[in-house]
Amino acid sequence: MTSDIITSLKCHETLEPTGTDVKDELDDEVYAEIGSKFTDQTCKRGTDEKTHQFKTCVYSSKPEKNLKTPQRILSEENTHQCVNCGKNFTQASSLKRHQKVHTGEKPYRCLECGKNFTEAFDLKIHQRTHTGEKPYQCVKCGKSFTDTSNLKMHQRIHNGEKPYQCVECGKSFTQASHLQMHQRIHNGQKPYQCVECGKSFTQASHLQMHQRIHTGEKPYQCVACGKSFTRASNLKIHQRIHTGEKPYQCVECGKSFTQASNLKMHQRIHTGEKPYQCVECGKSVTQASSFKKHQRIHTGEKPYQCVECGKSFTTNLQLT
């Protein structure tokens, strides 16, 4: 809309230019959309001022104190509130997506595995687990990811960014979820409980692994010997028996180990550290397993029994 010719929205009159300077803040389509909402508009020509006036909207060379700009009209009219939690949204589509949180609606289903999702975009990302597609690549190391959020989190490994900090101890994390799990150390929260034995855990993954004790499930199998494990980490450690890999080396003597825990125990030979002390006699040992065996001297426990004669022993070595 220009100051040369202004056409009335309702009267269809062409008004001669009066020197009014109309600021072009929105494009023609937005003005047309606003104009279509004004259902009771009458126009008149200003005689005392250089003004073209409508009942609900004024374009004038003289400022009006109570004049609402088109942007503000749009903002107020397009505020959509959730009746369940009161959260506001600027778009009706955003509110509709949000309401699925309350209704539990998941209309988008994966044809491969049957998993359902609230958004089509989430389904699209999930489908990449089946297709193997990883379109987002790290320019530093070349590692690829299924979505941009995972790439962004990965890049923090390279740049050292840890934006999530614990207010209790100051420890920082690359992910908000890691901070949330860490905070449970301070507040003692263990929201994941086993229905079989009542034991609680700080993480859902820890509960899942624990439940395999009750179910007997061992989903991780060694392709070399067929032995199965409850955890992927245990399988990885076991596979080193076949490959001969010993990635953990002692800097003092050069001896290598398959596990970090074994290296840690070995290093106590050099440091003389004996962290496990018996409260009965004061004897200290380097390993928890050795400490457990020692305690049987005081308790009299003999858990290993011979099936032939029934005699019991404190260690399995004595049994053999």
What is the token pair recorded at 129? 């687990």
pTM for the predicted model, two decimal places: 0.46
- Name the fold adopted by 246-320: Double Stranded RNA Binding Domain (3.30.160)
pLDDT for the residue 126? 92
Same fold, 80-131 and 246-320: yes
Q: What percent of the chain has pLDDT over 90?
A: 55
Q: Is the pLDDT of residue 229 over 50?
A: yes
Q: Give the tens place of pLDDT for each residue, 42-75.
A: 333 344 444 344 444 444 444 444 444 444 344 4
Look at 42-56, 136-150, 282-296 and tell me which has the smallest mean pLDDT.
Answer: 42-56
pLDDT for the residue 77? 54
Mapping DSSP to helix (H, G, I), strand (E, B) and coil, where does residue 58 land?
A: strand
**Calpha distance 138→273 (Å, rounded):** 43
**Calpha distance 6→4 (Å, rounded):** 7
DSSP class of residue 269?
Answer: H
**Calpha distance 8→13 (Å, rounded):** 5
pLDDT for the residue 78? 56
Cβ contact 131:125 at 8 Å: no
The ranges assigned to domains in the chain are 6-36+49-77, 80-131, 246-320
pLDDT for the residue 269? 93
- Name the fold adopted by 80-131: Double Stranded RNA Binding Domain (3.30.160)
The arithmetic mean of pLDDT across residues 138-150, rounded, is 93
Number of other CB atoms surrounding residue 202 within 10 Å: 19
Look at 142-156, 216-230, 303-317 and tell me which has the smallest mean pLDDT.
Answer: 303-317
